[in-house]
């Protein structure tokens, strides 16, 4: 399974929001600059995240985006599903719980392989909470002494 830029960039944007919006909303332009993602693409990603209840938009002069709930309550799986859709490696009615069965579902042996892979992927991403990525980001920045961050566009420590 390979994630698209939606999943990769969107996860980076959510980590950025989680790290940087502890006290105030973060403007998309700031996230875009720190993460080297175009503002237009970021708008599309944030719209999906907002719809999924992961981020909230704050209007006004000091507006921007904040997490909709605590980072400890947001799984990486929820973020990726909001951006990518389901994370199943194949379109198999047995895995996707679709009502329409495929013609070979009664005799298909490979569906067990796809189901185990799907379960492993979903268990892994659902077991990683955003708060863990925030802690890891802060740990990495502390180890780097924030020197590299001071020499780039980054201002909030990620």
Instruction: Report pLDDT for 151.
Output: 46
- Could you list the residue range(s) of the whole structural domain that residue 85 is in? 5-150
Spatial distance between the Cα atoms of 109 and 59, rounded to a whole number of angstroms? 53
> Does 156 fall in a domain?
no
Instruction: Report pLDDT for 39.
Output: 96
> Does 92 fall in a domain?
yes
The structural domain count of the chain equals 1
CATH code: domain of residue 74: 1.10.10.10
Lowest model confidence (mean pLDDT) among 14-28, 33-47, 96-110: 96-110
Tens-place pLDDT, residues 108-122 = 788 888 889 999 999
> Does 157 fall in a domain?
no
> Does 84 fall in a domain?
yes
> Does 127 fall in a domain?
yes
> Does 126 fall in a domain?
yes
> Does 155 fall in a domain?
no
Residue 154 pLDDT grade (very low, low, confident, very high; cuts 50, 70, 90): low
Instruction: Report pLDDT for 153.
Output: 45
Q: At what angle do helices 5-20 and 28-35 cross, to 10 degrees?
A: 120
| Prediction pTM value | 0.84
Q: Are 65 and 25 in contact (CB under 8 A)?
A: yes
> Does 125 fall in a domain?
yes
Tens-place pLDDT, residues 26-60 = 999 999 999 999 999 999 999 999 999 999 999 98
């Amino acid at each position: 399974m390979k994630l698209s830029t939606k999943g990769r960039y969107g996860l980076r944007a959510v980590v950025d929001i989680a790290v940087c919006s502890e006290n105030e909303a973060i403007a998309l332009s700031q996230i875009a600059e720190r993460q080297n993602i175009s503002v237009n693409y970021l708008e599309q990603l944030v719209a999906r995240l907002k719809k999924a209840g992961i981020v909230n938009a704050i209007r006004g002069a000091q507006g921007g985006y904040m997490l909709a709930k605590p980072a400890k309550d947001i799984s990486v799986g929820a973020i990726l599903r909001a951006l990518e859709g389901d994370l199943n490696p194949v379109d198999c009615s047995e895995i996707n719980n679709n009502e329409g069965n495929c013609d070979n579902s009664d005799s298909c042996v490979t569906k067990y392989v796809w189901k185990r892979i799907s379960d492993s992927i979903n268990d892994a991403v659902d077991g990683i909470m955003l708060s863990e990525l925030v802690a890891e980001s802060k740990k990495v920045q502390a180890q780097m002494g924030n020197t590299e961050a001071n020499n780039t566009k980054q201002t909030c420590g990620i």
